Amino acid sequence: MLEEIYLNRLRASRKILEERKISAFIFASYPNVYYLSGLKASHAYVIVSKEKCFLLTDGRYFERAKKMAPSFMEIILIIGDPFKFLKDFLSSLRCETLGFEKDRVACEFKERLKDKRYKLIGISNPLKTIRMIKD
């Protein structure tokens, strides 16, 4: 039952990709990472692409993420510098455009995530309408 709830949330979040014509979306805020994955972690990201969904976290939360996250999420261990890792990971997905929560992340996050391999597109409250419906 819980797995189905998370799957429905993933499907709804993918509509953002379609509506905004973006390749992938990175969720970095604690509330939205928890909402999409069930993981309570101070350092975790959910990346949703058209084909896959990833939960990236560091060694402090990695084992818990493997146990708690929905089965459709691929769990990735962040190694080394988090921003270099994220940029390389996003590049490996061949993202041309990357959405991010512009109202939930610091300017520094956006600046450090910038890369010539993809274009950043800030979206305010990307999950607002999805989260209105309580499941």
Domain spanning 1-129: which CATH class is it, in words? alpha beta
**Contact indicator for 119, 2 with CB cutoff of 8 Å:** no
Q: Any residues with CB less than 8 A from the CB of 65 and at least 6 apart, and which?
A: 37, 39, 41, 44, 55, 57, 75
User: What pLDDT score was predicted for residue 123?
Assistant: 85
Q: How far apart are CA 83 and CA 79, in angstroms?
A: 10
Element (H, E) at 119: strand 119-123
* C-alpha to C-alpha distances, 43 to 2, 61, 81, 133, nearest whole angstrom: 23, 8, 12, 26
Written as tens digits, the pLDDT of the chain (135 aa) is: 788 989 988 998 999 899 999 999 999 999 999 999 999 999 999 999 999 999 999 999 999 999 999 999 999 999 999 999 999 999 999 989 999 988 877 778 888 889 899 999 988 877 766 665 666
User: What pLDDT score was predicted for residue 132?
Assistant: 59
User: What pLDDT score was predicted for residue 130?
Assistant: 67
Q: What is the pTM of this model?
A: 0.89
User: What pLDDT score was predicted for residue 134?
Assistant: 61
